[in-house]
A = this chain, B = another copy of it.
Amino acid sequence: MIITMKKQTPKEEIDALMSRLDAKGLRIHSSIGENYNVFGLVGDTSVIDPKQIEANPYVESVVRVAAPYKKANRLFHPEDTIVNIGGIPIGGKEDLVVIGGPCSIEGKESTVAIAKAVKEAGGCMLRGGAYKPRTSPYAFQGMGTEGILAMVEARKETGLPIVSELMSTDKLDEFVEYVDCIQIGARNMQNFDLLKAVGKVQTPVLLKRGLANTIEEWIMAAEYIMSEGNQNVIFCERGIRTFEKYTRNTLDLSVIPIIKEKTHLPIIIDPSHATGDWKLVESMSLAAIAAGADGLIIEVHENPECAWSDGAQSLKPNRFAEVIEKGRTIAQVIGRGIV
């Protein structure tokens, strides 16, 4: 951590701050410039809140040098973490996973049907929303428990592990009992109470990136989960909010190499929510594989025009199969397979 103090700072103010930092066990190196005084802190600076130091009117700026995350940090955990969802390993050099399914669960029969279609097309996991975060209170809010049970039935019939979004701590027990992977949605990425709650169980967590969050904030959200004990975190990029209007969000594929450099955790890509347009899903899926993603999560619906939500971004099963087919050839080129 580097602290810059203004040139005209009285010596006693400098000494006061330095002795307070010294008391926290930090060593201090000073540099005196033409217009500023610069101090480098050496030691465990995670005990210090930069904003508190900035409150000192003589302080010009405070810059953190070390990353604020520890458990997610590859620096302290160099090997890749492999997360296991219902028997399927994700991450490292493992084969890529392709997760398919509807935005919203619409009933037991249709869920079993789409699960079979996903499996036949080459998907290895089923996604589906039973609790839906909707901008409007008047929009369909999901089938709830009934939806979760429809997915359980689909798993029984197909063997596909199931992934679904948890929106509140109230339902955590239900999720731990029934689902194979708990999704934390973009709007809840900084719902810290929810993060702490899923950190206390061992079910794998698919952590979506917030709409306007930086990668560092995203890793810190993972750190919340990991610091409570659950190391089974998978990042999921689903597009960020930008000024662009031709897509719902802007898919940021550079997160793939960055997450792999900064952390030891797996990362998968959601091209459906990112673009909001089924016509863009294939090209973005292939790009994600080429960039090194550990998997894809794609919306699949048998009849997108009749889907209860987000039909515009859903692929029909035959197009989903084509994406996996082409994806396999791209994966091969970079030395990986698809489950």
Contacts and interface: CB of A to CB of B under 8 A. Distances in A.
Interface of A: 2, 4, 29-36, 38, 40-44, 46, 49, 51-52, 54-56, 60-61, 63, 65-66, 68, 75, 133-140, 167-170, 187-188, 190-194, 196, 211-217, 220, 223-224, 227-228, 240-247, 250-254, 256-258, 261-262, 274-276, 278-280, 283-284, 286-292, 304-314, 326, 329-330, 333-334
Contact of A290 (B187, B279, B330): B330
Contacts of A326: 333-334
Nearest to A262: B246
A304 B55 CA distance: 6
Please give the count of copies of this chain that the complex contains: 4
A158 B324 CA distance: 42
Contacts of A44: 34
B55 A305 contact: yes
Contacts of A51: 276, 309-313
A136 B51 CA distance: 13
Contacts of A170: 169, 193
A240 to B, nearest CB: 6
Contacts of A258: 246-247, 280
Given A170-B193, A223-B137, A288 B286 contact: no
B135 A56 contact: no
**Would you call the interface of chain A mostly helix, strand, loop, or mixed?**
mixed
B36 A66 contact: yes
A52 B307 contact: yes
A107 B187 CA distance: 32
A44 B41 CA distance: 24
For the complex of A and B, list the 8 residue pairs with the smallest distance between their C-beta atoms, beginning with the closest. A55-B311, A212-B212, A31-B40, A29-B31, A290-B290, A168-B193, A287-B287, A54-B312
Given A33-B65, A52-B307, A170-B169, A287 B42 contact: no
A284 B52 contact: no
Given A55-B314, A65-B36, A191 B192 contact: no
B254 A279 contact: no
26 contacts: A29-B31, A32-B42, A33-B66, A38-B40, A38-B42, A38-B65, A46-B136, A51-B310, A55-B312, A55-B314, A134-B192, A135-B217, A135-B220, A137-B196, A169-B169, A214-B245, A214-B246, A215-B246, A243-B243, A244-B252, A246-B262, A253-B253, A254-B283, A257-B283, A289-B290, A290-B330
